[in-house]
Structure 1
Amino acid sequence: MMQKKSWALILSVALLLGYGIWFHSRVPVQDADWKEKYAVTPEVTLHGDTLHINGIRDFRFDSDGQVVQARYLNRTYTLSKLKGLWFGLSHFGGDGLAHAFASFEFSDGTFLAVSIEARLRKEQNRYNPLAGAFRNYTKMVVLGTEQDVIGSRAFSAQEPVFLYPINGSALQGQALLLNFLRRADILSRTPDFYNTLTDNCLTGLLAESGRYTELHDWLDYRLLLPGYSHEVLYEHGLIGQGESLEQIQAQARVNPDIAPDTDNYSQKIRSAPSL
């Protein structure tokens, strides 16, 4: 009996060692046959107060997530004109399954959406959360228009999308945006892995905000399931001005009937009642 237990222990240790070697031998790549919407990484240039970004994604998608219009924009932003930050949640399933993203609002009425995503290859049909825990996806910072990042989810996929205005100063928003842009620039040169548990759409946002340690708690399931993360932000005073969480959520709902190419899209999804 003791001999059997010894062999079982040896086998278990060998399997763990083999898994560890396999896991750490996997290397993220920059050059691959990427899906069309992940083929181009943004290029960021900063000169004083001026940001210039090449490769802002402005795609349109059908209800199946297929690309029907592929377009990239080159835009210039003035950092000091940043006036607001929005936290977005797109719920694609029950039990807290959601995608988290951020959107930066400038005083001229323009918005820049930032979304940390798993960069899929053409042979990878869709994101698999389990596979995402085992170094199967490279990480990408998508810089896009709201028509792309929000419209693809709220209008095309008909996912419930919520936009919560974040309480904070303009300087804090500027610092966060710069952190995201630096991360996008680093990933364009030095790829890294996306991880469902430790480095995902939500934890990436928290890490760049500098409040990861304050907000993150491994025992709090709401940060492992982004669909509940707005509750944590509410408890820490990052969203809301005295209203109940239910009131805030009702006000944050994006109207799914507003098409991405509607004039003044960003303003209308924040003012039109959701149905």
Structure 2
Amino acid sequence: MQPSRKSKIIAVLRALGLSLVILIPSIFVGLALWYRAPGQGLFGLGDGSWLAAGLWAAYVVATLYYALFTWRRPLATGAFMLAMALAVMWWTAIKPQNYRYWMPEVANILAADIDGNMVTIKDVRNFTWRSLDDYDAKWDQRTYDIDTITSVDLFLSYWGMPAIAHTLVSFGFANGDHLVFSVEIRKEEGEVYSNLAGFFKEYELALIAADERDIIYLRTNVRGEDVYRYSIKAKPESMKALFLSYLNTGNTLRKAPQFYNTLTANCTTIVFSMAQAIVPGLHMDPRVILSGYLPEYMHERGGLNAPEGATLTDIKSAAAITAKARKINGADGYSRRIRAE
């Protein structure tokens, strides 16, 4: 007897569902092996791309063979489930670290001592950049009175796609000082960033405190990125709370390192999670992930200082600092000059 149309549809849906059950974890495990086996020194065999390539190739061949020829066999299914269980055990055993051979610009992450309104921050980055390979490395210890915070600025730095930007937050003080916080990928010596690798525990997080004449100048005048500065509308108590939130986050990362994740733990989502705890009514929005569009979201929420009636186009035009910054010869007076009308 010929199977009915309904039974055919059910069979197709069942096969499709089974394919997804096999395919989705297989893709994840395959990519995890590709990105994590070399740098992790899998099974203690040390660093070597040959190991990653071999494991990845063997895994792909075995998975395809199972999916195409042997998935109906109980023994093969048991072997597949065991392989998945071992992969999960391996994956959860990969832990972030604070002790690796880091790139010089992320060699230190901030640590802070908080005593009432006075805070002392260790390892404030204050590099002098002449080029990407020519710089003077310097790490300062600085003390600030958080009662003298007068402003908060959001810097967005674009290097390619308009949807993606790096987010930096700068606090201004009554004496004219500015301190920038930046959530960065803590790359190791020789490591190259990949958006895809960022999903697979490839990089740790670093929270860097830095002088504007270092970290913003690096982006406008050395890396050639396109940078915008937006003044954030916030009450003094909210500014202080956000500043302290950065310090507490830095202290936490110093004690308990965390992996960067391209989607869930990056330069924008971490800032947003801190702001949510301070500013009521903020909700997750696609423009938080697509950080290049963050000013639009902030404008809609009334979070930007701007002249009454100013459009988003007007605000973006006023926020552009790249042209001004590139006219600055050296970093002296950098903060004052990028804010000049």
**TM-score past 0.5 threshold:** yes
Name the structure 1 match of 2:88. Answer: 20
Shift of 1:236: 1.1
Partners of 1:6 and 1:271 lie apart in 2 by 71
1:234 pairs with 2:302: no
Q: Is the 8 A contact 2:213 2:332 kept in 1?
A: no
Partners of 2:111 and 2:329 lie apart in 1 by 24
Partners of 1:231 and 1:103 lie apart in 2 by 19
3-state SS in 2 of match to 1:185: helix
Shift of 1:146: 0.4
Partners of 1:14 and 1:67 lie apart in 2 by 51
2:97 aligned to which of 22, 29, 35: 29
Q: Is the 8 A contact 1:138 1:191 kept in 2?
A: yes
Name the structure 1 match of 2:200. Answer: 134
Q: Is the 8 A contact 1:147 1:260 kept in 2?
A: no
2:211 aligned to which of 145, 164, 173: 145
TM-score with structure 2 setting the length? 0.72
Partners of 2:283 and 2:215 lie apart in 1 by 25
1:69 aligned to which of 126, 136, 153: 136
1:271 pairs with 2:336: no
TM-score with structure 1 setting the length? 0.88
Q: Which has the higher contact order (CA 8 A, sep 6+)?
A: 1
Shift of 1:240: 4.2
- Choose between structure 1 and 2: higher strand proportion: 1
1:163 aligned to which of 217, 224, 229: 229
Structure 1 residue identity aligned to 2:116: G
Shift of 1:205: 0.5
Q: Is the 8 A contact 2:228 2:319 kept in 1?
A: yes
Partners of 1:224 and 1:9 lie apart in 2 by 38
Partners of 2:134 and 2:115 lie apart in 1 by 34
Alpha carbons of structure 1 residues 29 and 67: separation in structure 2 relative to 1, 3 Å: farther
3-state SS in 2 of match to 1:271: coil
Aligned length: 267
Q: Which runs of 5+ in 1 are unaligned?
A: none
Q: Is the 8 A contact 1:148 1:260 kept in 2?
A: no
Q: Is the 8 A contact 1:215 1:232 kept in 2?
A: no
Partners of 2:288 and 2:329 lie apart in 1 by 30
CA RMSD of aligned residues (A): 2.4
Alpha carbons of structure 1 residues 129 and 11: separation in structure 2 relative to 1, 3 Å: farther
3-state SS in 1 of match to 2:176: coil
The structure that has the greater radius of gyration is 2
